[in-house]
Structure 1
Amino acid sequence: MIPQRLTLRNFLSYREAILDFQGLHTACVCGSNGAGKSSLLEAISWVLWGESRATSEDDVIHLGSKEAQVEFIFQMHQQTYRVLRTRQRGQGVSLEFQIMQGSSFRSLTAKGIRSTQQLILTHLKLDYETFVNSAYLRQGRADEFMLKRPADRKQILADLLKLHQYDELSEQAKDKSRQFKGQVELLERQLDAIREQLHQRDAIAQERAELETVLEQMQAQQSANHHQLQQFQAVQHQRQTWQQQLTWQQQQQRNLNQDCQRLQKERSQTDGQRQTLEYLLQQESRIIAGYQHWKALQAQEELFSAKFQSHQVAQSQRQQFEQHYSEKLQQLQNQLQKVQAQEITLQEQLQELQKSLSKEADVESAIGQLTSARQELQKLDQLQLQASPLLQRKQQIQQKLDRSFTRLSARLEELRTSARQLQTQQQRQPSLKKAAVEVAVKIDELEKLRAYQDQVRDKGLERRSFMEQLQAHQRNYEAQLAEIDHKIRMLEQERAAAITEEVEGTTIVQIKQLEFPPCPLCDRPLDEHHWRLVLEKQQAQKEEILSEIWVIREQLTTSEREIQVLREEYTKIEQRLAQYGDTLERRGQLQEQLQNTAEVQEQLTQLNSEAIKLEAQLKTRAFEPELHEELNILDRSLQQLNYDERDHALARGSVDRWRWAEIRQAEIKQAKRRQANILHRQPTLKTQIEQLEQHCDRLNADLERGLQQYDRQIQEIGYNLEQHNAIRSALRQAQPWQLRYQELQQAQQQYPQVQHRLHELTHTLQTRYNDLQTITHHCQELIHALEKTPDLSTHIQALEQQIQQHRTKLDQHLAKLGRLQQQQQQQELLSQQFEEVNSQLKTARQQCRVYQELTQAFGKNGIQALMIENILPQLEATTNQILSRLSANQLHVQFVTQRNRKSKTAKAMETLDILIADAYGTRPYETYSGGEAFRVNFAIRLALARLLAQRSGTALQMLIVDEGFSNQDQEGCDRLIAAINAISSEFACILIITHMPHFREAFQARIEIAKHQNGSELTLCL
């Protein structure tokens, strides 16, 4: 990642800042403490990963602002990218990711912040933790690795290398192993349960056969019972039919009785209604007369209601007319009052203006004073224009002289410090010479010991070669011995066969007549004597070979003891020679230090001479003579101009003091204009007042005439409220005749219908009496038939209970048979399940073993330990390479991963010790000075940075060093600068953050940061 441009807006201490990295290779970011140096680089981590040192997300927003925004353009793998991150206070974050195509950027932003962030990580191939531990050496974390306990450093290194993922894999494998172990136990229990169930297969088959026989017998008995029940049910069904018919006929009989009673009652009610209608028809003439009187009263009431409506309309119009004219009159009176108030206000304003116009003479006098003061100020302003460049130049020269004085003072202090250091080095020369002699003697002894070690090694190789020859001879003799044993066994077997043949009945004569048996070694005939000779010869050769083998084994044992002694001697020598390399390095360091001390006196003389010269220049201020001469010329020029800043200030004060006259003059002019305007408006207002008064009089006259006209119209209507109320009362009293007239009309319509209904009811009642007699006769016949047929319900119920009991038992047996059939099917399924579970059990056991092995492999003592062991040599080599540049080959580190325990039989203890050696030997980290410790920390951190960058799969092209260098002396600072310059070719951009002047002057490119009232600001100096 190569930065190109960084733009900040309202981020931490910055309001607006743009940093262009193009053309920057190695630059120093300098400024006072708290100016915002680290904040500038925190912006890079925030825009790329959303991470910063702020505890809250809103803390990155500049105080008083609502939004923070950072834009970062960088180059990666020959591609240019732009990332834009914005944070609004109290709201969310927006993130944009773009790539340059041609002369413009194309968006790569995904849906959502997480997706876009993951896309950025994919292109960078660098996460935040790797960045802060590699490319970004953050402030205050240089010694974090060294200050940890040795046992904890290994864990820190594992965290930096992100080996925790293997712990997660180990835990996952362990969980999987537990799961499969539990699955194995569960499957084993299932297999045991299935075996127990499979043992019941034969018993279930026998029980099923017995149950099927019982079911056949019960089904035959059940069929006979069903046949008898059907016969009983047929007889009982006929009897129930007659019983139902009897019940229906009796119900019909009851219904007819009720119907006759109802018809008789309805006939009586209809006859009463007929009599009522006849009485109402007899009063027809009287009802019609009352109804005619009610209609006449209703016509009179309608006439009075119409007059009432006209009277109400006239009254309403009169009120509206009166209200309209009253409102218009009120408006005119309001206008009249308003105009009269304006006339009074104008009169009061005219009096106030007259007071202001009375001060016109005093204002004119003050205007003259103001004009004189302005003329004087104008003359002094012209002098200021001439003197201002001279004063600015004088101030610039004075600042340059002050900076030169500060720079020379700092240089003088540096010279004095260097002189003291050189004096200290010169005082160490005798001890260095003595140490060099001791180291030379020690090297001579070690070289002799090394030659002796070569002799021991050659002797060991010689004995090893001799042992190999003995082992070859031993193998040869053992082969010969095996061959002889084989021959002896063949001879003994041949002899045993001949004896067996004799025992089986062969006579001596027959044996003599046979030929001698052949020799098993050469196939020639072999008699008893020669057989013994051959056997003795073979046994003698065997004894001789055994003797040789014993001698060889003795020689091998002796050689093994000699090699063991030589090996122990070689190990002791190797342990003593382990310090040979350190001693050679120590001799080189001492020689270099002695060579440096020879140059110390000359350097000390030069430094003292330069310090005396600088001290004299500072006392007499004899530096920058051109600037001093120019300063004197400027002083003389200012004296000739005779310009005094105090006179200029007094002139400004005089102008400000008389400036009120202009304001008063403008007020008087405004008062005159207002006075003329008021005098012009007064006649108009008086005319308006007269017109409004006349208009009010006319409206009052029109109102009076209109009201009189409406009163005459109301009298012409002639409405009388008392007469209207009397007619209403009479109409209410005659209202019942209207109801009686309506009843008369209904009676005239209903009387023929009632007579017809009475005739129908009489005929229907006679018909119902005839039907009742017929039903009564039919019921008597059904009762006689039921008495002849017996009731079989008790027998049927008993037989049904018996059938139900048999059915229950039969169902139980059928259910049991079904269960047995299901159990047999279940047995078949269990047999298949047994095979499946057994197969699953084998698979689960295999998976359990696999995950147990993976748990060990991913654990602390597996892949993680192997990776750390492989990485540490590379880390150690890189650290020593950097440290040699920082300390002039004076410091050397070694990483030790195992430490012997106090008990000799115990295994070595896992650790991560860091041994630091200097010119005086190996010492603990805490005994080194702050400067030396910082160099070691810096070298280890830089080596870790390279290692982490390589593991992330990307080249480390950018390096940011945000560490304090104040604990370094002059020589240490020079070496740090030299080391940074030496490694600068490996990076595309290096940024060093410091507030030390010496570091600032050491780099040509500087980014100077200063904090003002409006926030931090940066300046790029090339």
Structure 2
Amino acid sequence: MIPLQLTLKNFLSYRDATLNFRGLHTACICGANGAGKSSLLEAITWAVWGKSRAATEDDVINGGAKSVRVDFDFSCNGQTYRVIRSRTRGRSSTLEFQVETKAGSFRSITAKGLRATQEEVVSCLKLDYDTFTNSAYLRQGRADEFMLRRPSDRKQVLADLLKLDRYEELSGKAKDTAKEYKGKIEQLKKSLEPLAVELTKRAEIATELVELKQELIQLQEEQEQSRKNLEELRAIDYQRQTWSKQLAIQQTQHQNLTQDCDRLVQDINSLQKQLTAVTNLIEQEAEIVSGYNQFIAWQTQENELSGKFAIHQEAQQEKRQLEKELEQQKNDLNLQIDRIQTRLEGIEQQEQDNLKVLAKTKDVESALVKIQTSRQQLEELDRLQQYISPLIKQKNELETLINREEAMLSAKLEQLHNSAQKLAETIDKVPEQRHQLLTVDAQIEELNKKRVYQTRVKEKGTERRDFQTKLQENQRIYERQIYELQQKVQMLDNPDAVCPLCDRSLDEHHRHQVVDKTQKKQQEIEEQIWVIREQLSTCDREIQLLIAEYHEISREISPYDSLQQQYGQLEAQLLATEELYDRLQTTQTEKDNLELSLRNGNYAVELQTEIKRIEGELQTLNYDEKTHALVRGEVNNLRWAEIKQAKIEDAKKRQAKLDRQKPELIKEINDLQTSLEKLHINSPIQQQIDGIDRQIEDLGYDRIVHQNLLNSLRESQNWQFKYQELQKAQQDYPQIRARLIELEGLLEARSQEKQKIQAQLQDHLQQQANIIDRRQEIEVLEREIYQRRQQLDELISRSGRLQQSISQIDNLKIHHQDTEKQLKEDEKQYRIYQELTQAFGKNGIQALTIENILPQLEAETNQILARLTGNQFHVQFLTQKATKGTSKKKTKLIDTLDIVIADASGTRAYETYSGGEAFRINFSVRLALAKLLAQRSGTSLQMLIVDEGFGTQDAEGCNRLVGAINAIASDFACILTVTHMPQFKEAFQTRIEIYKGDRGSTLQVSN
């Protein structure tokens, strides 16, 4: 990276400044302490990598401004680039990355997002911030960092600078993988032991299986012979069973014929009785007709009396109303009359009810005859139903199964409909869940930025603490140097003092010269101590601010874990909903197919076919279930006759009881009426009652006559029944006669058939007696076959188990071989990862890298150191040293990184060199490390920034340092040095003067 131009706007102490690096090769950035020298360099690191010494990102903004912007043009690999980084207070930073075109303008190559653009910049430079600060940027206070470490720690520092920790991570991963393979190896070895034991059992099982097969063949032969004998005996027994079945059939036929003959005899006897009764009834025709005519005449007379009875009843009602008015005067008497009258009316009503019941006597008797006939027909149909019922039951069961299948399909259709509806509702919630996910993701992204910023704050705090520690260490060094200088001054105050360097006597002139030089150096160190103290105070304030800011950010990012958990849940829900679309499509297709099947009846096809077959068989039997139901209904409908017959008998008993009660009640009413007449002879109501009585008298209605007429009607009602029976007898006589002749002919035919069957039955009984019964032999043979079958099943089962065991052992053998192969492979991988663990470890590639780089580092350091010291110093790096063991004869080599420094007087410890000498050594080592780090990062070190204090150098040391910088200038495209010492800045032709005033820092380039 070669700087071309730097433009600052509101960055730290700068309001508006531009520095053009074109034409600058070696330049000195000079100015007073706090003028803004280091800020100029910090602007470069902030623009390119977004990092600076500021505690927070907003701290880089000038105190009086709201935003900051830094433009940095640089050349890399022959191409010109521009980085523009800006930030508004309280907002995030923006980064623009551009490349120069052939036309001289800049084209944006900014990636999507700040992080991606930053990666593009680093990829272009092949240089990250840590490598830059440890190579091209030699920051103040870090020149002696490497040299002040203990020899045992220098290797670690060098490893950190070379970024060898990635090999340590690889070593840890290889070690973990090796442990995994070791565990797998132990597990595989344990699993191989039982497999080997099982494989040894195969020969024993194979021998047992051969013996078992021989025994099985022998038993099968015996079983086959027994089966043949059984078939012969079953053939003989089958003939016997055939004769037995034929005999049973003939016996059943004979029994049925006997029952038919008996039933026909009973039917003939019944018909003969009916015929006799009908004949007797026809012979009484004249008497019945005469009695029936008398009944009709009485019935006509009774109708006339019924009309008068109605009028009489109305008059009686009016009379009772008037009597009720009179009864109000005598409540007790009226209540008695009403109660008795009510009882009388109840009796009359009961008489009427009884008359209605008794009027249906003839109809009941006719219905009883019909129910008997219907019951006979019902018995015939019931016998036919007993044969058909299983078919009907099977049909009903099939219909039930079909209906159940239809119901199941309907329920499944409903379930699919509900599932589809629920899936659709769940899918409708996806946009809301996605919106929630995006919201949570935005919150997490914001918190991630804060976490990154918190990490930066922590790193900045650590850096400030390290810088504080180094300042304190430098302060102690300077205080020790002041103490040494004070001792020198005290020694020089003695007139006989000698030179502290060469031990020669000093004259007055030289003594004053040495004292002046020592006091001047003491003053410079005191100035450095005051600078360090000021820096320590500033550093302490910055650390306190960083701690407070770190805690504040920690409080702000506390919801991070809960948001991560919520994000995971929402993401899992969205992933789960991706399957819902396929499930919804499948459910909808299945629902459509079910609806089509239900609509077309394409279900339970076999059951529907079976129902059609049963319906055909029922049609062949010519059984009409409706006729059966009608007959059964007719029987049920005629049962009322039996109930009415019982009611008629009850009505006769009730009427006899009423006939006894009615005269007594009438007498009581007459007595009460007489009493009422005596009480109310002259009242107007009584006169009305008298008028009603005269009206009743004029009506001429005689209740007794009416009652006698009704009794006569009841007595003669029998003639009506007999007349109906006579008509029915005249109708039934020809049918009964014809039916009797038919049954007598049928009886004769059945008797002849019965005699024929009986003769055949005797013949079959004689033939059956000649057949030998072999059933006992068959049972014995079947038991033998069954027992042998059990033995065969047991042997076959054992054979199967043995064959399965052999098959399992064969599979175990394959598994054993696979396991051995896997064991060898895992052992191979285990060895490989063990070697990788060692190779990536500190004694492997890391040690080898350091061993390889140290000669180059040593040569580069000595080359630079020779330029700085006039070939007076030489540095040597030792990686091992010998130590004595427990035995005096044995020595032991240990790893270390000692730095041996030799001068004209020989080798001596680093701590014994003066400040100027130590700085030249530190500078040489640091500069050599910088060049090596740049080479290892894949880029050449074209820029060098030296921000170090050169106060330890005397005039000759400064000249040598400047000479060394000029000597190595050809290796770099641009070298910038930072100092506040006037004598040092004069050594450079090009100077960048930094001034700080009321409007902030300004710069000026002078030659």
Q: TM-score, normalised by structure 2?
A: 0.43
